[in-house]
Structure 1
């Protein structure tokens, strides 16, 4: 009788350990998938920002030229010289 009780205890303990291990492993897998998806999103954002940096760097190089700087200021900031009339047509 005692032997059967001890055997049932060890079977129950083993099953409990297996269930807890499976639960912990499942949570770790879910966490890993979430982290991978976040990494993909951040890599897309990184590529977007690198592209924006390249465009802005090219604009900065162009703005170093006086002719382009004047044209840019007139178009984007509606600047004008004294005595000059500017008509904005949209």
Structure 2
């Protein structure tokens, strides 16, 4: 008894494999795009923090000197000496 497999079966099987392959490849492509976006976002954060670290390192180096420390405290924290009036001018 020989089982005869028709031409339609092979066409449907091929179509099924193609549809399945497109579905799997499509999901992987969407996943790859999502991961690429995350990588780009993380790279932007990395660049931001590298620049921020450089700025903070420069600030720390400058704060080691008493003259700049006093200037920084006056400008950023509005500190003043006794019997001294400080006027803040906004531009």
Q: Do these two structures clear the TM 0.5 threshold for a shared fold by scoring above it?
A: yes
For structure 1, which runs of at least 5 residues remain unmatched after alignment? Answer: none
More helix by share: 1
In 1: Cα distance, 2:80 partner to 2:59 partner: 21
1:33-56 per-position Cα deviation (integer Å, ceiling 9, x unaligned): 221122122112211110011001
Match of 1:26 in 2: 26
Match of 1:52 in 2: 52
TM-score by length of 1: 0.84
RMSD: 1.5
In 2: Cα distance, 1:87 partner to 1:15 partner: 80
Match of 1:88 in 2: 88
SS where residue 32 of structure 1 aligns? Answer: helix
1:3-14 to 2 correspondences below 5 Å: 3=4, 6-7=5-6, 8-14=8-14
SS where residue 79 of structure 1 aligns? Answer: coil
TM-score by length of 2: 0.83
